[in-house]
């Protein structure tokens, strides 16, 4: 499966009553696809943990799961995501099972999953670091096809991994501000919340690698992550008239001082 390119982990827009604004979500997904990017549904950026089971299922049906990567971390969620292109599956958070536990966890999930898995490696959130050797062991599991690499640093493990990537294993940038250097080192693309804005520019940059544009997009990403994701992204989309409210669900709170977000693309 070709996972190269820019993937946008869609936000979940809410209306004035705090309910999912499905028409706005459908339009947002259409715009992303028209700009040449791919879709990720029900990831962290979607506030998936705050959605009900019924809301999750309606999102999958609305967006046509056959064209989606879907955030799914448990056997039940993987079954629910059946028919999708792949699942974006988080390294087990909070419990810190150790690297051998992570291997066993993904072996068990992959053995029962109806769709391939992309490992979501974000140790700042999970508390579980992974060495390059462990990532190579994950890549060798049948049914594990890639990784969203979001360690917050460009470390020696990443350099070694990109210098000699496992066959058939996609390495995707998960730290938006590091898109340019990771692409330069050989990453296949990125899963980038920032690409809700300036989607066509992100897609073109992934293809053309123009240095000055990479700097501009990194500055945009820095601004969009100035407060907890996806609060600033939502404020910017609302300021642009693309979603009905900038609302989020608890435990998130709306971004502070949203008035300047409409000028982020200037």
- Residues forming the active site: 120, 148
Whether the CB-CB separation of 51 and 12 falls below 8 Å is answered with: yes
Q: Is 176 helix (H, G, I), strand (E, B) or coil?
A: helix
Q: What whole-number distance in Å separates Cα of residue 29 and Cα of residue 206? A: 19
| Separation between Cα atoms, residue 80 and residue 68, nearest integer Å | 13
Directed axis angle between helix 132-139 and helix 156-163, to 10°?
40
Chain CA centroid to CA 235, Å: 18
CA separation, residue 98 to residues 104, 116, 126, 173 (Å) = 10, 23, 11, 23
Judge whether 111 and 130 are in contact, CB under 8 Å.
Answer: no
Torsion sign, CA atoms 159, 162, 165, 169: positive
Spatial distance between the Cα atoms of 161 and 85, rounded to a whole number of angstroms = 24
């Amino acid at each position: 499966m070709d996972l190269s390119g820019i993937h946008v982990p869609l936000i979940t827009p809410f209306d004035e009553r705090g309910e999912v604004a499905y028409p706005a979500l459908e339009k947002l997904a259409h715009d992303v696809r028209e700009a040449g990017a791919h879709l990720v549904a029900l990831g962290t950026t979607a506030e998936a943990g705050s959605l009900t089971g019924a809301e999750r299922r309606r999102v999958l049906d609305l967006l046509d799961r056959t064209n989606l990567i879907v955030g799914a971390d448990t056997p039940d969620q993987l079954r629910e995501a059946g028919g999708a292109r792949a699942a974006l599956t988080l390294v087990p958070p909070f419990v810190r099972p150790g690297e051998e536990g992570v291997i066993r966890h993904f072996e068990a999930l992959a053995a029962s999953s109806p769709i391939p898995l992309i490992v979501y490696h974000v140790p700042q959130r999970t508390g579980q670091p992974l060495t390059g050797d462990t990532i190579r062991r994950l890549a060798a599991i049948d049914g594990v096809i890639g990784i969203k690499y979001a360690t917050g640093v460009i470390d020696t493990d990443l350099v070694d991994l990109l210098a000699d990537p496992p066959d058939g294993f996609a390495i995707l940038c998960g730290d938006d501000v590091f898109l340019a250097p990771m692409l330069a080192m050989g990453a296949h693309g990125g899963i980038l919340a920032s690409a809700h804005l300036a989607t066509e520019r992100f897609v073109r940059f992934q293809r053309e690698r123009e240095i000055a544009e990479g700097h501009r997009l990194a500055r945009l990403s820095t601004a969009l992550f100035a407060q907890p994701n996806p609060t600033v992204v939502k404020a910017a989309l609302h300021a642009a008239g693309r979603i009905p409210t900038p609302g989020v669900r608890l435990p998130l709170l709306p971004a502070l001082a949203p008035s300047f977000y409409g000028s982020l693309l200037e």
